[in-house]
């Protein structure tokens, strides 16, 4: 059975994952408005992935005889000054989510909740990948600088991302 402390923390994480999904969908709309459909596709896939993360927490809470609570999600930002700024936001946001996951691991350890520690290991590994992917895009955008042809080539590359 899930402790009330872990249940509340996991419910907060559901909300954080849903916010991430909305943020990335908002970014996808921003890139669509710039006629950069590849970036939009990448972010749409990311938005679906984040909603999948929320569902993992939802199902886990239920499996442990807890009660999942779905709350309202804060509206995300909708505009950025440039693609680089948007993806720096992605990287910063993923680093924030990593800190949230790390706190959950610490909490599960203090609670001596081994099952939750094992469950959270998947998210620890996922966040390493999320930060790496966001950082690679940031670094590529920095290399491209103001090159429109470079931006269009990267956009084309990003559009090849498929749901995993």
Model pTM above 0.85: yes
Helix residue ranges per DSSP H, 64-113: 83-110
Q: Is 158 helix (H, G, I), strand (E, B) or coil?
A: helix
Assigned domain for 163 exists: no
Which structural domain range is residue 122 located in? Answer: 4-69+80-158
Distances (CA, A) of 87 to 6, 9, 141: 32, 28, 9
Q: pLDDT tens, position by position, for the chain (164 residues)? A: 899 999 999 999 999 999 999 999 999 999 999 999 999 999 999 999 999 999 999 999 999 999 999 999 999 999 999 999 999 999 999 999 999 999 999 999 999 999 999 999 999 999 999 999 999 999 999 999 999 999 999 999 999 988 66
Assigned domain for 57 exists: yes
CATH number (domain holding residue 45)? 1.20.1260.10
Closest CA to 64 of 103, 108, 115: 115
Instruction: Decide if 25 contacts 78 (C-beta within 8 A).
Output: no
> How many other C-beta atoms are found inside a 10 Å radius of the C-beta of residue 146?
7
Assigned domain for 74 exists: no
Assigned domain for 94 exists: yes
Assigned domain for 75 exists: no
Domain count of the fold of the chain: 1
Instruction: Decide if 73 contacts 54 (C-beta within 8 A).
Output: no
Tell me the residue length of the chain.
164
Assigned domain for 58 exists: yes
Closest CA to 27 of 100, 84, 72, 71: 84
> Which regions of the chain does DSSP assign to beta strands (E)?
none
């Amino acid at each position: 059975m899930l402790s009330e402390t872990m249940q509340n923390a996991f419910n907060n994480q559901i909300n954080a994952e849903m916010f991430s999904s909305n943020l990335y969908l908002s970014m996808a709309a921003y890139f669509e408005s710039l006629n950069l459909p590849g970036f939009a596709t990448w972010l749409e896939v990311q938005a679906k992935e984040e909603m999948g993360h929320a569902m993992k927490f939802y199902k886990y809470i239920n499996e442990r005889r807890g009660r999942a609570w779905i709350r309202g999600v804060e509206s995300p930002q909708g505009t950025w000054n440039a693609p680089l700024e948007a993806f720096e936001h992605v990287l910063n946001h993923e680093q924030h989510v990593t800190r949230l996951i790390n706190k959950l691991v610490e909490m599960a350890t203090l609670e001596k909740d081994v099952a939750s520690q094992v469950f959270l290991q998947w998210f620890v590994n996922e966040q390493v990948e999320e930060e790496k992917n966001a950082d690679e895009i940031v670094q590529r955008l920095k290399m491209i600088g103001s090159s429109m042809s470079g931006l269009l080539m990267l956009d084309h590359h990003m559009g090849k991302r498929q749901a995993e």
